[in-house]
Amino acid sequence: MDDTTLKQAQQLRVNGRYDEAIVLFEQILSDAPDCAAAWWGLAHCTFNHVGDFDAAREQFEKAVALDPTNLRYQLDLAMYFTMLGMFEEAKPIFERIVSADPTSKEAQEARKQLSYY
């Protein structure tokens, strides 16, 4: 996998150029289907731009499955569930984040989210 292409795709996503980012993420995944970062970036594009919530869920879950220690991916999956009102799915993920690394910025956000329960 070309790290430069991944960085370019992420930058396009951050800049709101979702259609271009999607093309690059899909290109990366065709060559490297186990690239968690590409699944994560694609999930954001799918959720924020395309609005295909089922596909976005699968993509976030794929990123977490491929890189289960990445707290950012876990947090974003839990936040996705929260945005859709899927609190029973989100809560254990937030709890797992806090347990994994209580001092991380992801744990700080997870604790904040848990305070709403």
Please check whether residues 12 and 60 belong to one and the same domain.
yes
Residue 44 maps to which CATH number? 1.25.40.10
Single pTM value for the model: 0.93
Mean pLDDT for 83-89 is 95
Please check whether residues 2 and 58 belong to one and the same domain.
yes
Mean pLDDT for 60-86 is 97
Please check whether residues 73 and 46 belong to one and the same domain.
no
How does residue 117 score in pLDDT terms, banded at 50, 70 and 90?
confident
For 88, the domain range is 69-117
Q: What is residue 75's predicted lDDT score, i.e. its pLDDT?
A: 98
Residue 8's CB: how many other CB atoms inside 10 A? 15
Please check whether residues 4 and 48 belong to one and the same domain.
yes
pLDDT at 1 over 70: no
Mean pLDDT for 60-68 is 98
H-type alpha helices, 1-104: 3-14, 18-31, 36-45, 53-66, 71-83, 87-100
Q: Look at residues 26, 79, 27 and name the one whose alpha carbon lies nearest to residue 48.
A: 79
51 vs 94, higher pLDDT: 94
Please check whether residues 85 and 111 belong to one and the same domain.
yes
* 16 backbone φψ class: left, alpha, beta (φ>0; ψ -120 to 50): left
Please check whether residues 36 and 46 belong to one and the same domain.
yes
Q: What is residue 101's predicted lDDT score, i.e. its pLDDT?
A: 97
Q: What is residue 43's predicted lDDT score, i.e. its pLDDT?
A: 98
Number of domains in the chain: 2
Q: What is residue 74's predicted lDDT score, i.e. its pLDDT?
A: 98
Please check whether residues 60 and 81 belong to one and the same domain.
no
